[in-house]
Amino acid sequence: MIHILRSRWRQGFRTLPYPKTIPALPDRFRGRPVFQPERCPEGCQACADACATGAITLGSEGPRLDLGRCLFCPDCADACPEGAITFTGEHRLATRTREDLTVGPGEYRLAEALNAEMMRVFGRSLKLRVVSAGGCNGCEVDVNVLGTLSWDIGRFGIQIVASPRHADALVVCGPVTRAMELALRKTWDAMPSPKLVIAVGACAIQGGPYLHQPEQLGGASAILPVDLFIPGCPPHPLTILDGLLRLLGRLDTPSRSLEL
């Protein structure tokens, strides 16, 4: 026991100081993409053709990218001959509506806090029940990381629970396969009201790389009302935590828009 105590003393305080400071992200991290439409060659659609999930659409105002479909692979950026699309290090991506998950002309609206009544219920304590609804488990791993010593989401009053009867919010990962539809509905029905749904990752938002497979339903919105969308494939733990804290009104940074 004395050796354990000495080791713990040498390690010191291990929990990240977020949100007071933002943890350093590696150079390979790909966050919110940005377009430079003035650099797009006329008639070029190389980026749209390279996108495996059809996340990029071209219009008169320039290209738009649907982060709900985006896998954050570099194929579109690599295909562009003029470098008109680049991935930044911006980790703030979560939104309250599906429509806000669009990168293009205009502002990118980050998630707003719950209304006053819901904040009264969930503002100090939020219990999460995670359901893996047919994905690759990448998003589930990054959600679980938030419970480790370094992230310690318990300090924010957020906890992952085993029973839906103890849960305030249902965290859906995966595209919702037909084999998991009933289980997901039963989990939702077992949760006490009021309750929330959080879609984590491209699969849970729109189907991800499984979008065109007949065995899946195209994300949580197909059967449940989603209150928070966290894009990524998978989203970084920092992106997930940022979304959760914005939902609870726990961040001082602006939530209405994001300009890069």
Q: What percent of the chain has pLDDT over 90?
A: 81
Q: Is the pLDDT of residue 223 over 60?
A: yes
* pLDDT at residue 79, as a whole number: 94
* pLDDT at residue 254, as a whole number: 43
Among 72, 51, 47, 49, which Cα is nearest to 62's? 47
Distance of CA 207 to the CA centre of its chain: 14
Question: Residue 109, class by beta-carbon neighbours within 10 Å (0-12 exposed, 13-18 middle, 19+ buried)?
Answer: middle
Length of the chain measured in residues = 260
* pLDDT at residue 11, as a whole number: 65
Q: What is the mean pLDDT of residues 145-156?
A: 94
* Choice between 256 and 49, residue whose per-residue pLDDT is larger: 49
The strands making up 196-200's β-sheet, listed across from edge to edge, are 158-160, 126-132, 169-173, 196-200, 228-230
Q: What is the mean pLDDT of residues 81-88?
A: 93
Could you give the CA distance from residue 71 to residue 246 in angstroms, rounded to a whole number? 23
* pLDDT at residue 252, as a whole number: 64
pLDDT-based confidence at residue 255 (cuts at 50, 70, 90):
very low
* Whole-structure pTM value: 0.92
Average pLDDT over the chain reads 92
- The pLDDT tens digits of the residues spanning 170-214 come to 999 999 999 999 999 999 999 999 999 999 999 999 999 999 899
Q: What percent of the chain has pLDDT over 70?
A: 95
Parallel/antiparallel/unpaired status of strands 64-66 and 102-103: antiparallel
* Choice between 249 and 253, residue whose per-residue pLDDT is larger: 249
* pLDDT at residue 61, as a whole number: 77
pLDDT-based confidence at residue 147 (cuts at 50, 70, 90):
very high
- The pLDDT tens digits of the residues spanning 16-30 come to 999 999 999 999 999
**Pair of tokens at residue 184:** 């997901």
For residue 112, give Cα distances in angstroms to 39, 199, 228: 33, 15, 9
Could you give the CA distance from residue 114 to residue 21 in angstroms, rounded to a whole number? 24
pLDDT-based confidence at residue 258 (cuts at 50, 70, 90):
very low
Structural domains for the chain: 116-247 (3.40.50.12280)
Asked whether 48 and 71 are in contact (CB, 8 A), the reply is: no
- The pLDDT tens digits of the residues spanning 90-137 come to 999 999 999 999 998 888 999 999 999 999 999 999 999 999 999 999
User: Residue 3 carries which side chain, given as an amino acid letter?
Assistant: H
Could you give the CA distance from residue 147 to residue 151 in angstroms, rounded to a whole number? 6
Q: Is the pLDDT of residue 166 over 90?
A: yes
